[in-house]
Amino acid sequence: MVGGINVADVPMQKGFGRSSVSLEQLLKWNPEVIIVGYDKDAQAGFFNDIYKTPEWKNIKAVKEKKVYSIPNKPFDWFDRPPSVNRIIGVKWLANLLYPQYINLDITTEVKDFYEKFYHKKLTDQEAKALLPV
């Protein structure tokens, strides 16, 4: 929806649709940006270790510090479960991939979204805490 190109050339999977990808495949694709999904504590550990793992150091996204964790409070903004959070997820991703074209104050967007959809007024600090570092 935002115009990003998924370099992962893998067949569509049944069920949850997640495909296994080897490090060799990832090195071959050499993505400019990596978006890491959240899957409980296992993924959080994975995301935190990407920059420390020598096997990942030659991937363009890692070299350029463009590896991002998908926000997930109260639900994932990108994947599962399907929810209204995908609305803010589209804005987050567009702003992340194309900041030169999509000039959003994502903190303000997050605050507006949470007020409209969750009837929760967030402070700037709370909104920023929802966003990946």
Give the pLDDT confidence of 117-131 residue by residue, as tens digits: 999 999 999 999 998
Residues of the chain short of pLDDT 50, as ranges, are: 41-42
Q: Cα–Cα distance between 68 and 59 in angstroms, integer?
A: 14
- Residue 17's pLDDT is 64
Q: What is the pLDDT of residue 31?
A: 95
Q: What pLDDT score does 42 carry? A: 45
What pLDDT does 60 receive?
Answer: 96
Domain boundaries, the chain: 22-69, 72-133
The DSSP string of 3-24 is --------PPPSTT------HH
To which residue do tokens 């007024």 refer?
121
pLDDT computed for residue 2 by the predictor: 80
pTM, whole model, 2 decimals?
A: 0.82
Query: Contact at 8 Å (CB) between 57 and 78?
Result: no
